[in-house]
Structure 1
């Protein structure tokens, strides 16, 4: 038996080697995918990447090729299925989560130095007294200036684990010695409710900029405070709100819709329908609500507007919304990147889809605003084209339409003056932010010491400030020059609004912008008629 074992051992080794050689041959680029994958579509992509990795004449970053490939695939699906690369995922997630861990400041990198624009509301820096204009020079003894550090790197050094401590050395204008602040890093809220306050004695106002994880909690707090101030009516401003988490939008809608009423339903690839109903006693079921929308109100914003409109609750005021009725789910791809893939369509309670067509390609889809602008829809309700085959009737007898956005109950035209459009772009695009920061820096100690009331009553935007702003724009790009004489009052209003934002936060900013706002004026008019 021992002799036979001596014979069998080499034989078995030879067989094992032969099998190994066979499998190795089968694992060549030509055949490996047939062995390990039954999906020929996956085989083709895997094989191509392998060819480039191992055979292509030059070194190539195949990660970037994969990113391009994924984007190209998604482009052929629908406009809202998107790829989130690994290096962008953290920022995207943070924005939707509603908070981040850090010291809680917004800043500019000026002359290679961190200069605080504002200590963020509710963050640790605000609580310990860091102010706009402060220069953060050291963090835990590490020099942060004159080092050529990128903004991303500076942000990383200021962030950290929750409850971790960092000692900051800060230079403040008017104080000779450096100030020392011991900061405990904490969760800093990224507010999705920009503003809430009383428009009239009984009409409250709430503006939601997106639907993040914390939106309903913020909204609920705002409703409580406004009701305590006497609000029997609410103006819910969803203009320029691009959407976000569907669950948060459903919770907001539920505050106005009676229990058991349908809020929306979704339908997936297989045709399976999932209904979502109002499930609790809302805080404002018996109050009057006005929902403010425009051409940039999308997705979750349209869920709220559509649910209220189809249940004959409140009044939708403004212009036709964007028209996004697709539901996405975020799915990780295993390397830190993710894809948001459209998995269903949602429908309003009457059964209408408000998704606008995308069969002419993504470029035409995203340029729909220009089509609306050119056909006059932004200026005249009569220019809104509807499809009679997509006509629906609410329980209360109101006629509504599907096929592309929520058409408001009360139309308010857009001011399409090109100079005003440009000025709004400059404000929202950040150009005015840096100018105003520099303006505040000229007399930082004064501005940091004044109260809101003093700011409102004493701070005047002068002609010289307007001229300075135009000179500032020309220094960036001559094409950005405004026509100051025609729009001087509006320009002054925007400059003061941005000053209010940097000194007192978004609530003060929105109050300034909303002064003489067409849609808000219409809502006030409607609310007074209903009393």
Structure 2
């Protein structure tokens, strides 16, 4: 992929160097060699505070609190990451971290294991889903109101180090003792890859991390072997990650020399352009890409490449609108700056970055709420694009820059079955808690299921499952209101089944159940069955509801 590798050029962090260099020189050496009046003023202010302020001040601590505000006056995506937070921030995208290999829930203020990662350290020493962690290294954690983030810190650590756990298990009153040697734990970016019908593969990508390319290709190959010749790539809720991973994904579906993306920084004499190299294994397969208002950055790069090349049908709602590229630089104290160094443009030449005002991040973050209040989630006619930012795809269809990517087929937010009762139980987390407790009580029986069909057959019928939940909710402060419950019953029951399937069989099975009544997924299947994803859309065709 020489074309791809040569095109992934990044840009110098001129601003970051100027900031840190100026501050470092001013504080440490008192030099007058400043490039701007602003740098000289900053150094003088810091000197005055250090030497003359009424109380002694920790200048490093003061600067630590100042950096976030300083960067907040740039664009909405440039940010400062303190050293103590950097490891956790990076782990989500790097593909692995060192820990004991479980996922857990804080159930009634007790750390409860809801999944033991296959092949991980905890599985090897015999931890089981449903185990309650009472102590960590002989320190009590049950009933201590310890936040999730602190529990994670206690369980994670350097590879090869040991952590001692005191475990309560349902089949014994005795507290069991386990010593786990921490190891590398994968962070998956593909949540699901399964056959949604005889010829359609569904693949859910939750982020663009270091391992996304390999996970995505593995999923596609698996689905191809199971008979898939068309695919639904679900990027809803995917806020982005590494740009190059989106490029590699796009390359799988495009013929040689198709434009994927180009970037432009302040110092660039010409654009850094990326083209496909023709090695993709899925160039002739039908493709639908799902987006929503939380699909951002790398998700929009992939979707934009597919849309502008008329390679896929985009289904869902308008994406977030992030067209800025950040580069992360680690500073001498192990903190980091993520600084916007360029803008990216889709193959048609559009930058889909939505408007923002410098220094006003609140308005930028509230823009999604504004869309909701303006009715955009329910009606495509509420979406207004700048007519001056018109571009054309490969076949001459009109697309717009600024404000995200508009899908070819608009699917309104599904509110059928949503009532005050449903909102109340969701906000209280009762659906998740009930599903986990039900799974935990019946784990031995449910775990004997070899597949989803067998698992669902072991569950109570819909009416009984609904009644069990309603009684549970009543005991936990949400009284039964049957007028609303009857309206929401299908939504509640399907969600419960999806959660139980996830608890017993794994995360992929959540989607296998949930997608059976997901209107966006069902719309994608309808479009595939009608042949709309196999040929370019007519230039005159508008997004439909």
Tell me the TM-score range normalised by the shorter chain.
0.7 to 0.9
Hey, what does 2:14 align to over in structure 1? none
Instruction: Note the C-alpha offset of 1:447.
Output: 4.2
Hey, what does 2:491 align to over in structure 1? 490
1:363 is aligned to 2:367: no
Distance 1:484 1:50 in 2: 65
258 and 145 in structure 1: CA distance in 2 versus 1, 3 angstrom threshold = same
1:156-167 aligned within 5 A: 156-164=153-161
1:292 is aligned to 2:290: yes
76 and 425 in structure 1: CA distance in 2 versus 1, 3 angstrom threshold = farther
1:82 is aligned to 2:79: yes
420 and 78 in structure 1: CA distance in 2 versus 1, 3 angstrom threshold = farther
Greater CA deviation, 344-353 or 37-46?
A: 37-46
Hey, what does 1:469 align to over in structure 2? 473
1:31-50 aligned within 5 A: 33-35=30-32, 37-50=34-47
Instruction: Note the C-alpha offset of 1:355.
Output: 0.8
1:456 is aligned to 2:456: yes
Residues 466, 488 of structure 1: 8 Å contact kept: no
Give ranges in structure 2 of 5+ residues lacking alignment. 1-25, 535-545
1:161 is paired with a residue whose SS is coil
Distance 1:370 1:120 in 2: 37
Instruction: Note the C-alpha offset of 1:492.
Output: 2.0
TM-score (norm. length: structure 2): 0.82
Hey, what does 2:396 align to over in structure 1? 397
Q: Which has the larger radius of gyration?
A: 1
1:132-531 aligned within 5 A: 132-137=129-134, 142-145=138-141, 148=144, 150=146, 151-164=148-161, 168=165, 170-175=167-172, 179=176, 181=178, 183-272=180-269, 273-359=271-357, 361-416=360-415, 419=418, 432-452=431-451, 453-460=453-460, 461-469=465-473, 471-472=475-476, 474=478, 483-530=484-531
Residues 174, 445 of structure 1: 8 Å contact kept: no
Instruction: Note the C-alpha offset of 1:430.
Output: 5.7
Distance 1:369 1:80 in 2: 16
Distance 2:352 2:123 in 1: 43
Instruction: Note the C-alpha offset of 1:440.
Output: 3.5
Instruction: Note the C-alpha offset of 1:139.
Output: 6.1
Greater CA deviation, 154-163 or 262-271?
A: 154-163
Instruction: Note the C-alpha offset of 1:35.
Output: 3.5
Distance 1:77 1:224 in 2: 43
Q: Comparing both chains, which one has the higher relative contact order based on Cα–Cα distances under 8 Å and sequence gaps of 6 or more?
A: 2
TM-score (norm. length: structure 1): 0.84
Residues 466, 491 of structure 1: 8 Å contact kept: no
Residue deviations 1:444-468 (CA, integer Å, cap 9, x gap)? 5444555444321121323131342
Residues 288, 524 of structure 2: 8 Å contact kept: yes
Query: In the comparison of the two structures, how many residue pairs are matched?
Result: 498
Residues 417, 488 of structure 2: 8 Å contact kept: no
Residue deviations 1:53-79 (CA, integer Å, cap 9, x gap)? 454334556555324422222222111
Distance 1:301 1:223 in 2: 17
Distance 1:153 1:370 in 2: 31
- What do you get for the CA RMSD once the two structures are aligned? 3.2
Distance 2:436 2:246 in 1: 35
Residue deviations 1:207-244 (CA, integer Å, cap 9, x gap)? 10111111111101100100000000000000111111
Distance 2:113 2:438 in 1: 14
Instruction: Note the C-alpha offset of 1:146.
Output: 6.2
1:346 is paired with a residue whose SS is strand
Instruction: Note the C-alpha offset of 1:528.
Output: 1.4
Distance 1:74 1:482 in 2: 51
31 and 107 in structure 1: CA distance in 2 versus 1, 3 angstrom threshold = closer
Hey, what does 1:15 align to over in structure 2? none
Residue deviations 1:6-38 (CA, integer Å, cap 9, x gap)? xxxxxxxxxxxxxxxxxxxxxxx9996443645
396 and 108 in structure 1: CA distance in 2 versus 1, 3 angstrom threshold = closer
Residues 255, 276 of structure 2: 8 Å contact kept: yes
Residue deviations 1:256-288 (CA, integer Å, cap 9, x gap)? 111211100001013431001112411211111
Instruction: Note the C-alpha offset of 1:527.
Output: 1.5
Distance 1:332 1:292 in 2: 34
Residue deviations 1:116-141 (CA, integer Å, cap 9, x gap)? 2221345332355422221345667x
